[in-house]
Amino acid sequence: MSWLSLAASAAQWAFTGIKSSVDQSRAIKARETAAEHNLKLATLQAKIAKAQKDGEWEVEAVKNSGWKDEAMFVIVMLPLVLCFVPGCAHFVVDGFTSLDASLPEWWRWMVMCTVGVSYGLKPLTKLKNLRKLK
């Protein structure tokens, strides 16, 4: 073997090693890129599924709403309206004063829970999210 063929063999061996290393780096980078892509895809799919589930929940809530929601709304808004009717404002004040003085704590919680169940808790979560944005 001559010195030239020995140098050529060494160069070929080095080139093969470098090429193998570059190929491995490219393969690793490709796997990392694919993993990042799959993670982003899974995240987007989860967001889409959540949005669809929320939409289905809201459609179901609209289907299930009935006269009791409207009745609850009228009952809740009636004192506000009566405050502007001449001669009725004192009834509202007297009623709330009486309720404030004599209504048990458990009854207040029961009324709040009833209204919460009637309107659902979804609006409260939206209000909470709006407060976070500020």
What are the angstrom distances between the C-alpha of 18 and each of 2, 8, 22, 23, 127? 24, 15, 6, 9, 60
**Domain for residue 18, yes or no?**
yes
The angle at the Cα of 115, spanning 111 to 119, to the nearest 5 degrees, equals 170
Rounded to the nearest integer, the mean pLDDT of the chain is: 80
Residues of the chain with pLDDT under 50: none
**Domain for residue 8, yes or no?**
yes
pLDDT tens for each residue of 7-29: 777 777 777 877 777 778 888 88
- Residues contacting residue 72 through CB under 8 Å, at least 6 positions apart: 114, 115, 118, 119
- Residues contacting residue 79 through CB under 8 Å, at least 6 positions apart: 92, 95, 96
**Domain for residue 51, yes or no?**
yes
Of the candidates 68, 98, 93, the one whose C-alpha atom is nearest the C-alpha of residue 82 is 93
**Domain for residue 19, yes or no?**
yes
41-45, Cβ contacts within 8 angstroms, sequence gap of 24 or more:
none
Integer Cα distance of 108 and 118 in angstroms? 15
Q: How many domains does the chain have?
A: 1
Q: Which domain holds residue 47?
A: 1-64
**Domain for residue 53, yes or no?**
yes
For position 131, what pLDDT does the model report? Answer: 61
DSSP classification of residue 37: H
For position 75, what pLDDT does the model report? Answer: 86
**Domain for residue 101, yes or no?**
no
